[in-house]
Structure 1
């Protein structure tokens, strides 16, 4: 089973979403949170810290798990956390990024389980 994790980054009741490039075979041009597959030996926490840094240059500090589950061959984790830094996207994997309110985000083409993630955040009054 492959481990994968993503970081949920929120500011002023808006979520940071990245638009996936055509570099990926899964959900090209769809929107989602920064994240990806773990390297061998990485924990879910180490994985999310590295992936957020690689994809959008932010320092991410996971504080809790919003959601976890299994998708195809992946054991995935969706982490809430604190963050710092200035966004700079990795152009190979990311086409675009933006901050979205709940009403804006829910209308996007969302990858993987991010529609559920956004609904959960809304129910918890984080968006």
Structure 2
């Protein structure tokens, strides 16, 4: 089974969401957290650290698993974590980014399970 992970990046009760470019078959133009498939031999933690760095140039340290699941033969992890750095998007995979409040984020076209992730974060007073 393929492993995948994404990083939930928060600041001042807002979440960083990236808009997926048209490079992908899955959810082009939709919004979600930085993440992707693991490389061979990577743990979920190593995967999320690398993917966040690649997609938006932030240094990410996972601290808590918010959710796990299986989607299309992929075991996925949604990590909350600490971060530092300056956002520089990888233009091949990401067409835009922004910080969103819970209310604004829920109005977007969200990829994968991110509507549920936002609801979990809101319920637990992260957003």
Q: Distance in 1 between matches of 2:35 and 2:16?
A: 12
Q: What is the aligned partner in structure 2 of residue 89 from structure 1?
A: 89
Offset of 1:63 from its aligned partner? 0.3
Q: Distance in 1 between matches of 2:40 and 2:91?
A: 24
Q: What is the aligned partner in structure 2 of residue 9 from structure 1?
A: 9
Offset of 1:58 from its aligned partner? 0.0
In structure 1, the gaps of 5 or more residues are none
Q: Distance in 2 between matches of 1:123 and 1:105?
A: 15
Residues 13-66 of structure 1: CA distance to partner in whole angstroms, max 9, x if unpaired?
000000000001100000000000000000000000000000000000000100
TM-score, normalisation: structure 1: 1.00
Offset of 1:73 from its aligned partner? 1.1
**For 2:41, what is the secondary structure of its paired residue?**
coil
Q: What is the aligned partner in structure 1 of residue 76 from structure 2?
A: 76
TM-score, normalisation: structure 2: 1.00
Offset of 1:72 from its aligned partner? 1.0
Q: What is the aligned partner in structure 2 of residue 107 from structure 1?
A: 107
Q: What is the aligned partner in structure 1 of residue 126 from structure 2?
A: 126
Q: What is the aligned partner in structure 1 of residue 36 from structure 2?
A: 36
What is the Cα-based RMSD across aligned positions, in Å?
Answer: 0.3
Q: What is the aligned partner in structure 1 of residue 66 from structure 2?
A: 66
Moved >4 Å (runs of 4+): none
**For 1:78, what is the secondary structure of its paired residue?**
strand
Residues 60-86 of structure 1: CA distance to partner in whole angstroms, max 9, x if unpaired?
000010000001111000000000000
